[in-house]
Homo-oligomer: A and B are copies of this chain.
Amino acid sequence: MLVRNATSCLRSENDYPKQSVSGNTALFDSVQLTGAVMPFGRGAEIYGEGEPSEYVYKVISGSVRIYKILNDGRRQIAAFHLPGDVFGLETDETHAFSAEAISQSTILVVARSAVTNLAAKDVAVARQLWSLTALELHKMQDHVLLLIKSARERVASFLVHMAARMPEASEIDLPMSRQDIADYLGLTIETVSRMLTQLETNAAIALPSSRHIVVRNPGQLDRLNS
């Protein structure tokens, strides 16, 4: 059984190799928090929609998708998280979306109560929690603006944003499938694929392999990103 969720993982202490780490990363610049670093396999559920939001997460390595399944069975991916990103932070008592590891990932898991207790004593921490939610809000606003664009523009925007998150901005290594991209952009896999080959034909990008994209003409992508 590959699929597990964070809660069960935390409860069964011996299932995974763990280590205690100081969480003074981008999440809490000036704060010491300890959490567990946990591995999640490809496709493993980290938390599910509607589950109590007991933990806050940070990607150490790998990648995560945040999504919701709609009544008609379609899946909308709200966000992709890459190393360094914090996710799963809620003011609500339950998670509004589900989270899954896209590729083999290691995730830093911190008890939400530890974070909020700290925030109750330290205004700087409280302010950082607020800022993290505000950052999520800005990303979601960008996503709304993306979803009203044409298919070509959506794919170009996606590549620009992914490129900006890569160590080398001209080399994009996609952890996610075409289906994931399609569900994020509100398109079908066929349309995503066609737009990518179109961009390749226009020499904006090169596609050495389906998961590896080389940005050849950033200006052209930016123009489409607008």
Interface presence of A2 (CB below 8 A) = no
Interface presence of A226 (CB below 8 A) = yes
Contact A133 to B137, CB < 8 A, known contacts A76-B148, A148-B186? yes
Within 8 A of B (CB), among A173-226: 186, 226
Docked complex Cα distance between A202 and B144 (Å): 30
Partner of A123, one of B70, B126, B141: B126
- Closest B residue to A187 by beta carbon equals B148
Interface presence of A15 (CB below 8 A) = no
Within 8 A of B (CB), among A114-162: 119-121, 123, 126-127, 129-131, 133-134, 136-138, 140-141, 143-145, 147-148
A94-127: CB near B (< 8 Å → 1, else 0) gives: 0011000000000000000000000111010011
Residues in chain B near residue A90, CB distance under 8 A = 134
Interface presence of A13 (CB below 8 A) = no
Contact A126 to B137, CB < 8 A, known contacts A143-B144, A145-B70? no
The minimal Cβ–Cβ distance linking A56 to chain B, given in whole angstroms, is 13
The minimal Cβ–Cβ distance linking A225 to chain B, given in whole angstroms, is 10
A residues within 8 Å of B by Cβ? 68, 70-72, 74, 76, 78, 90-92, 96-97, 119-121, 123, 126-127, 129-131, 133-134, 136-138, 140-141, 143-145, 147-148, 186, 226
17 additional A-B residue pairs with CB within 8 Å, beyond A92-B134, A143-B144:
A70-B145, A70-B226, A72-B226, A76-B144, A76-B145, A76-B148, A78-B144, A91-B134, A96-B138, A119-B127, A120-B123, A123-B123, A126-B126, A130-B133, A133-B133, A144-B147, A148-B186
8 A-B pairs in the complex with CB atoms less than 8 angstroms apart = A78-B144, A92-B134, A119-B123, A120-B123, A126-B126, A129-B130, A130-B133, A144-B147
Complex A-B, nearest 9 residue pairs according to Cβ-Cβ distance, in ascending order:
A91-B134, A140-B140, A147-B147, A126-B126, A148-B186, A130-B130, A71-B226, A137-B137, A133-B133
